[in-house]
Amino acid sequence: MPALIFDCDGVLADTERDGHLPAFNQAFAEFSVPVQWSDPDYAVKMKIGGGKERMRSILTPSVAAVLGLPQDDPAALDSTVARWHRRKTAIYTERVNRGALPARPGIRRIVTQAADAGWTLAVASTSAEESVRTVLTHAVGPELAAKFRVFAGDVDGARKPAPDVYLRALRELGIGPGDALVVEDSANGLKAELAAGLRTVITVSGYAAGEDFTGAALVVSSLGDPGGPTTVTISDPLHLAPEFFVDLSDFAAILEAPEIPAPDATAPDALENR
């Protein structure tokens, strides 16, 4: 049976704006870090893979001096950032546990379909494992979450857009790239999957709107739900034409396709729904 692999942030739930951003800012405030990210600031920081890496990026010489940190001791700076990040993860997890971050449309539905069909289920993310497992459980429920393999946290190798986390998932699942489909939300994630030879469905999240998703098998606003938010198709090179929501049969068709055609820039779905 094929594997269905999800990224976490922006895919299982729209976690960035309502979860990670306020958690970063609260952690900065608690540690007296003279930084508060605005929404546009965080959109830029999103281009940096990994939470600790985003926090490390604010340690300019002036900020380090204000905090009394040794600028010539990278190990000490990394230790400080790790402490900040542990607190940020705890704040974020508290927000998820309060139910502040509901699942994105269609996630529980498609996971239920895949589990019933015998597909292997996994999450591949470089976010902290505790955060990923908490989001997953709230998004699909504990019974379905227990069926997932979770590849998360610090990983050997590079962050996205490098393919390392997906190569690790394939290796540990014991499958090849032709046996897996990934659901992602960002261009950085798409680049990682393409480098790993994987086929990808993009469900565009807030901070990723307008990014280049060339190479994706399907780009939609969300997976959609019957009777709920419906799918808006942005790019559909295989002409799957999901009308109201994306179904597991669409995922199977993507895996069965001999190749993913280049998108037609003149197609109505590429122009009217952006």
Confirm whether 9 is a catalytic residue: yes
- Alpha carbons 66 and 33: distance in angstroms, whole number: 8
Instruction: Tell me phi and psi for residue 257, to 5 degrees.
Output: -65, 140
Cβ burial of 250 (10 Å; 0-12, 13-18, 19+) is buried
- Alpha carbons 192 and 59: distance in angstroms, whole number: 27
Cβ burial of 232 (10 Å; 0-12, 13-18, 19+) is middle
Of the chain, the end-to-end C-alpha distance in Å amounts to 34
Task: Give the active site residue among 9, 164, 247, 250.
Answer: 9
Confirm whether 225 is a catalytic residue: no
Structure tokens at 94: 């508290």
CB contact at 8 A, 218 and 236: yes
**Closest alpha carbon to 175 in 204, 198, 154, 192:** 198
- Alpha carbons 268 and 274: distance in angstroms, whole number: 10
Structure tokens at 180: 């897996």
The length of the chain is 274
Task: Give the active site residue among 7, 164, 236, 250.
Answer: 7
Residue 39 gets which letter from DSSP?
H
Catalytic residues: 7, 9
